[in-house]
Chains A and B, each alone.
Chain A
């Protein structure tokens, strides 16, 4: 039996400092969101994206020049993964004839590169679709938060529920903050990963709350704060191992999943760290601040233990 010896730490002693830190990070995020907002990707803004694969390395300046020479202005040119892959962004315009536009762009560049270029991907999203997506995305987050709030309130108690949701919202905000501060591309895949973070962070929180629930019923001595501390410590080895293994998987996704999944896996990485942090310091903290006590869970229900073993 190999085991990491994890020292018993009084996590809750640092709870105010931790709250200030999280508060500061959220404040920074809000400032960044207010000033520069999110760098919304094609899915939300509408427009055209063209990915080209060159046989030989190419300078983005050359590509821009070739396009401007053909009267195609307003096209953003950037590398996508390597210096042979180029991503072109064309903002939405009134012109709906996208196929003709993207063909013209491709023909222009193919001529400039002597034919040594390949069209890898063309995506066009109408502005109307983008608006709908933004709306749907916002609603999706809202509805899942509500669903979770209700479920946790039913399974635990409303104070836990609020704590769990506070931790979750905290993580979503931190991920948004990273994408806003560094102006990373926020597309549909990143939205999916924000929702995944919501799910993961909750799972993490629930595991600790599950232990708190158990200890509240079992341990008769000690303040709620002490029991909370004990529960966090008891589950710490699991927290570290799970976070570690998921981290391994997501790192693999980030490093080997290709450019398409980079934003997605980065959001997951940030969310993973934030999720572990918020489980300890936001979820438990908020529940304590709301005055959670063993009395709230005094009636032992039959759920959990044994009852659901027959899957």
Chain B
């Protein structure tokens, strides 16, 4: 008799049920949609949906419906990606001043599936269309910049301590300080060792010269690079968020790379503009001697310029800049320990700190402003045609009174909320990139190609699957049908686990799935062929079932494990599409071992295991 113990049957049933539930959201179709959100300084209103509906109807673009999302954004659903693109054009052309639109794919899930919190598998950019960019961060430049800062600081320190040096310069990855004599060097060494204890110092005598060479420790260099990469990720994320893409993904890859993925985005040019945008900051004094009203009327003093703050109010600022954003080394939000109000702590580099100290000493009690400068792309109507224009936007983001002179580190207080403090810190940090970047890889897939890829990929999977199903049914009769059920279950489990892992399905991923079907079939073929051999040897049907599974097991496991080794190696070495393939293959191999060995045995045990059989339907 072939029987599985109850616990085993229950466990298998449990896993299968869980798989089916997890895979469920993928059954529902994904609509090409547009996510509409309010542009800056505007808000979504109750009439927004009607406005968008009117714009779409005017342009004669058919759409399915408009949903209101939890965060107040609107979701316009379309039946085809062509309609979706025309819909975005219609919205951008007429309403781009007030709304931002982003292309996305959204599943049309019934309420009860949504209530379970289930989400479908993410589709890769090759399947849904979008822009992929791989960015290389110039780490050598980041280290170089840091060393240049040291050069500057050491000069200042030595000058302040009145130690006579000949030169301070950067030689490759070292800072070299040259002194006139050994005595000066000794004095200099003390000062440098005190202030730059984190650097590696060394006295060098070279051709009669008295030198001190300073180098970063490997640990410090690693920290610096890490910081530069992290800072760049943050900066890029802030900039990309301004693009209004539905689900942007910005992540570091390895030691020096950043991946930016924008599903649904179509225009890599626009992305590149944003990535390369020279958003920066300037600190300026407020011109309190002249009237703002006069300036607005056109009488702007020669030494001043009229700016506007975020709410559009005019502010008159001095033309002379105190410090610029690239001199900011850090900014963090927090609370003022004395008053408990939100504040932002800003750190400047040495020259910036000196200049800030000089200016604030002279201007205690006067207000100072922070100006945010950014290049923004706006679509405008020119002669009835939409034209993209790059605009330099300069905004005053904060005005604060100088309470006392300060230098390299200072606090900006007087902010309305901790959220504002947080945003300001973000803007200050996001002003400049910590290290120069270069785009080393870029892939853009249009939505029509994405759709083609989905259609073709799915079609080939279905056809391949059907061919196998027919063959197995004909060749192995009822046991073949069991294999088919198990095969289907295998696909369900792959989809479920992929969704659970948050893995992305790509085109090569579909190929991996196809291959898994092949491997899963092989396991069943091995088992059934064994059974037939046992039958030929004249064993009883029940003994044949048991022997078929037992004897095929070692071959199945060895075969799958060797393939698994290849898949894991692929996963650890591959990037992007290869990784997608490796993930599906790995998940598929494990799922196929479970389904082909355990699930098919459970089914066969359950149907035939307890009966007196004369022959086996294999």
**Chain A interface residues toward B at CB < 8 A:** 1-3, 51, 53, 96, 98-100, 102-103, 118-126, 128-129, 136-137, 139-140, 143-144, 147-148, 151-152, 155, 188-189, 191-193, 195-196, 198-200, 202-204, 206-207, 210-211, 214, 234-235, 237-238, 241-242, 244-246, 248-253, 255-258, 260-261, 264-265, 268, 303-306, 308-309, 311
Question: Inside 8 A of B575's CB, which chain A residues have their CB?
Answer: 136
Contact: B532 with A248, CB < 8 Å? no
- Contacts of B58-107 to chain A: CB distance below 8 A: none
**Chain B interface residues toward A at CB < 8 A:** 126, 134, 136, 268-269, 272, 438-446, 448-449, 452-453, 456-457, 459-461, 463-465, 467-468, 471-472, 474-475, 477, 507-508, 510-511, 514-515, 517-519, 521-522, 525-526, 529, 532-533, 535, 549-551, 553-555, 557-563, 565-567, 569-570, 573-578, 581-582, 585, 593-594, 597-598, 615, 618
Contact: A144 with B448, CB < 8 Å? no
Cβ-closest chain A residue relative to B569: A144
Interface pairs (17), CB distance under 8 Å: A2-B477, A53-B446, A53-B449, A99-B269, A99-B442, A123-B442, A126-B136, A126-B439, A140-B573, A148-B565, A238-B529, A242-B526, A245-B525, A246-B515, A257-B456, A258-B452, A264-B511
Q: Shortest CB–CB separation between residue B254 and chain A, in angstroms? A: 10
Q: Shortest CB–CB separation between residue A152 and chain B, in angstroms? A: 7
Q: Shortest CB–CB separation between residue B448 and chain A, in angstroms? A: 6
Q: Shortest CB–CB separation between residue A7 and chain B, in angstroms? A: 16
Q: Which of B438, B464, B597 has the most CB of A within 10 A?
A: B464
Contact: A148 with B517, CB < 8 Å? no
Cβ-closest chain A residue relative to B475: A2
Question: Inside 8 A of B573's CB, which chain A residues have their CB?
Answer: 136-137, 139-140, 143
Decide: A122 near B521, CB < 8 A? Known: A148-B562, A253-B511: no
Determine the distance from Cα of A308 to Cα of B535 in the docked complex, in whole angstroms: 23
Question: Inside 8 A of A120's CB, which chain B residues have their CB?
Answer: 445-446, 448-449
Question: Inside 8 A of A100's CB, which chain B residues have their CB?
Answer: 269
Cβ-closest chain B residue relative to A236: B529
Contact: A311 with B468, CB < 8 Å? no
Question: Inside 8 A of A188's CB, which chain B residues have their CB?
Answer: 576-578
Cβ-closest chain B residue relative to A238: B529
Question: Inside 8 A of A304's CB, which chain B residues have their CB?
Answer: 553-554, 557
Determine the distance from Cα of A124 to Cα of B365 in the docked complex, in whole angstroms: 55
Determine the distance from Cα of A102 to Cα of B444 in the docked complex, in whole angstroms: 11
Contact: A305 with B577, CB < 8 Å? no
Contact: B442 with A124, CB < 8 Å? yes
Query: Which residue of B525, B533, B562 is within 8 Å of A242 (Cβ)?
Result: B525
Determine the distance from Cα of A203 to Cα of B442 in the docked complex, in whole angstroms: 36
Q: Shortest CB–CB separation between residue B470 and chain A, in angstroms? A: 9
Decide: A256 near B566, CB < 8 A? Known: A192-B581, A206-B555: no
Decide: A253 near B514, CB < 8 A? Known: A121-B449, A202-B559: yes
Contact: A253 with B460, CB < 8 Å? yes
Question: Inside 8 A of A202's CB, which chain B residues have their CB?
Answer: 559, 562-563, 566
Q: Shortest CB–CB separation between residue A190 and chain B, in angstroms? A: 11
Contact: A121 with B518, CB < 8 Å? no
Q: Shortest CB–CB separation between residue A81 and chain B, in angstroms? A: 10
Determine the distance from Cα of A98 to Cα of B581 in the docked complex, in whole angstroms: 28
